[in-house]
Chain A
Amino acid sequence: MGQSRTLQVAASLGAILAWIVIWAWLTRPGGPVPTLYFPAPDDVWAKFVRMWQRPYIGSTLPNHILASLYIVLTGWGLAALVGIPLGIAMAWWKRLKWIVFPTFQLIRPVPPLAWIPLTILWLGIGDSARISVVFIAALVPWLMNSMLAVYSIDRLLLDAAKTLGANDHQILTRVVCRTALPTLVAAARMALGSAWSTLVAAEILAATAGLGYVAVNASQLLDTDVLLVAMFMIGILGIGMTGLIGLTQNWLAPWSVLGARRD
Chain B
Amino acid sequence: MEQSAGKMTSGITDPAPESPAKLELCNISKWFGPEGEGVHAVDDCSIEVKKGEFIVVVGPSGCGKSTLMTVGAGLEEPTHGEVLVDGKPAGPPGPTRSVVFQKFALFPSETVEQNIKFGLQMTGVSATEQETRLAEQLKIMGLEQFRRSYPSELSGGMQQRVAIARALVMQPEILLMDEPFGALDAQTRTILQEEVQRLHREMHYTVLFITHSVEEAVYLGDRVVVMTRRPGRIKRVIDLPRDVAWKTGDIELAAEHPEFIEFRREIWGLVREEIVSI
Interface of A with B (CB < 8 Å)? 154, 156-157, 159-167, 170, 174-175, 178-179, 181, 253-256, 258, 261-263
B122 in contact with A164 (CB, 8 Å): yes
Q: Is B253 an interface residue (CB 8 A)?
A: no
Within 8 A of A (CB), among B94-124: 94-95, 97-99, 101, 103, 105-110, 118-119, 122-123
Q: How far is the CA of A145 from the CA of B166 in the complex (A)?
A: 31
B150 within 8 A of A: yes
Interface 1/0 per residue, B48-92 and A, CB below 8 Å: 000000000000000000000010011100000000000000001
Closest Cβ of chain B to A55, distance in Å, is 49
Q: Is the CB of A165 within 8 A of B119?
A: yes
- Using a Cβ cutoff of 8 Å, how many contacts connect chains A and B? 84
Determine which of B110, B122, B153 lies in contact with A261 in the assembled complex, contact meaning CB atoms within 8 Å.
B153
Looking across the interface, which residue of chain A has its beta carbon closest to that of B103? A156
B interface residues, tally (CB under 8 Å): 32
Top-9 shortest CB links A-B = A164-B119, A160-B105, A255-B150, A178-B109, A165-B123, A165-B95, A166-B122, A263-B155, A163-B99
A159–B105 CB distance below 8 A: yes
Known contacts A156-B105, A157-B107, A170-B122; is A164 also within 8 Å of B95 by CB?
yes
Complex interface: chain A residues within 8 A of B70 (CB): 159
Nearest CB in chain B: distance from A79 CB, A = 24
- Is B15 in the interface zone, CB < 8 Å from A? no
User: For the complex, is B182 an interface residue (Cβ under 8 Å from A)?
Assistant: no
Q: Which of B109-160 contact A (CB under 8 A)?
A: 109-110, 118-119, 122-123, 150-156
A170 CA / B124 CA spacing, docked (Å): 12
Q: A163-B75, A165-B95, A165-B123 are in contact. Are A253 and B109 (CB under 8 A)?
A: yes
Q: How far is the CA of A262 from the CA of B154 in the complex (A)?
A: 6
Is the pair A262, B152 in contact by a Cβ cutoff of 8 Å?
no
Q: Are B107 and A165 in contact (CB under 8 A)?
A: no
Chain A neighbourhood of B152, CB < 8 A? 255, 258, 261
Cβ–Cβ < 8 Å partners of B151 in chain A: 255
